[in-house]
Amino acid sequence: MITINNLVKVYNGKVAVNISNLEIGNGIIGLVGNNGAGKTTLFRLLLDLVKSDRGEVLSNEKNVSENEDWKNYTAAYIDEGFLIPYLTPEEYFYFVGKLNNRSKADVDEMLAGFTTFFDGSILKSGKYIRDLSKGNQFKVGIAACLLQDPEVMILDEPFANLDPSSQIRLIQMMKALNEKKPMIILVSSHDLNNITDVCTRILLMEKGLIIKDLQTSSDTLNELEDYFRV
């Protein structure tokens, strides 16, 4: 459970995030909004990568900026800044595994499950992560999150850089995860079709505010399209 109380972040006099109260429970939660709406800043606030000007983020009732317990059950991929560019994908996976007390054998076993998702271009590719294409870097980041078997997973625009097959694979994986165990999956995206397909709840952001909080239904896609058509 993530709770946000009176959270405000201002950049150069411009409000980036301003959320008075928000509770996020288990399920796949989508975050939509145009560029500059504050989606990524919100994610960074949740991960204690940005200092809030006011308010707090509680993860399992503990303030994320005062306590590091959330790191034990939270995995995130926002951009390439989460990958170590000069490692091979394998080295990176083993490193992340080690931080989460997974042995190499465990990691190998989990990676075997990603064979179709990786499509032969990640493992044993003979490249450092910095030499992979952006889409493949995203795959590495997403797989590294899944490896951690987290209770909270945060992905920023995961569909944007993936090819259609991988998008479909990712949606299937997220749904399967959500059914397997109770967890929070927070995803932002510009792809309204994907987001209404995968999410149980959708938050619409505009200029730092959450202006809509929708439980996904058959109308949701139309409602969102109406909003964005303006």
Partner 1 sequence: MISTLLQHQWKSFWRSRSAGRNVAMQIFIGFIVLYLAATAIFIGFSLDKILSEAFPRKEIISVYLGFILYYYAFDIIMRFILQDLPTLAVQPYLTQNINRNKLVQFLNIRSLFSIFTLLPLFLFLPFITTIISNKYGQEVSLALVVCIFSLTIFNHFFVLFIKRKTILNQWWLIGFFVVIILVAAADYFQIFSLRNWSSALFTSVIKVPALCIIFIVLAIAAWYNNSKFLRKNFYLENLQKSSGEKKSTDYNWLQRFGVYGDLMAIDLKLILRNKRPRTLLLLAVFFLVYGYIFFTPEHLSKNDFGFFLLISIFITGIFMSSYGQFLFAWQSSHFDGLMASNMNIKTYLKGKLYLLTTFSTISFLLSLLYGFLSWKLIPILIAAWLFNIGIHSVLTCFIGTRNYKGLDLSKGSSFNYQGTGAAQWLYSFVILIVGGAIYLPFALLINSWSGIIAIAILGLISFLMQDWWLDKITVQFQKHKYKILEGFREK
The contact set with partner 1 (CB under 8 A) reads 44, 47-51, 68, 71-72, 74-76, 78-88, 90-91, 95-96, 98-100, 126-128, 131, 148
Give the separation between CA 118 and CA 121, rounded to whole angstroms: 6
Nearer to partner 1, 101 or 217 (CB): 101
Question: At its nearest, how many Å lie between partner 1 and the CB of residue 158?
Answer: 15
Beta bridge partners of 210: 205
Nearer to partner 1, 11 or 228 (CB): 11
Give the separation between CA 22 and CA 56, rounded to whole angstroms: 11
Nearer to partner 1, 48 or 157 (CB): 48
Residue 48: HSE in the Cβ half-sphere, 13 Å Cα cutoff: 16
Question: At its nearest, how many Å lie between partner 1 and the CB of residue 144?
Answer: 9
Nearer to partner 1, 1 or 99 (CB): 99
Nearer to partner 1, 1 or 98 (CB): 98
Distances in Å between the alpha carbon of 157 and those of 60, 126, 191, 195? 25, 27, 9, 10
Give the separation between CA 71 and CA 154, rounded to whole angstroms: 12
Nearer to partner 1, 12 or 217 (CB): 12
Helical ranges in the chain per DSSP H: 39-46, 89-99, 104-112, 115-118, 134-147, 164-180, 192-198, 220-229
Give the separation between CA 46 and CA 59, rounded to whole angstroms: 8
Question: At its nearest, how many Å lie between partner 1 and the CB of residue 195?
Answer: 23
Question: At its nearest, how many Å lie between partner 1 and the CB of residue 113?
Answer: 20
Q: Report CA dihedral (164, 29, 206, 211) to the nearest 10 degrees.
A: 140
Question: At its nearest, how many Å lie between partner 1 and the CB of residue 95?
Answer: 6
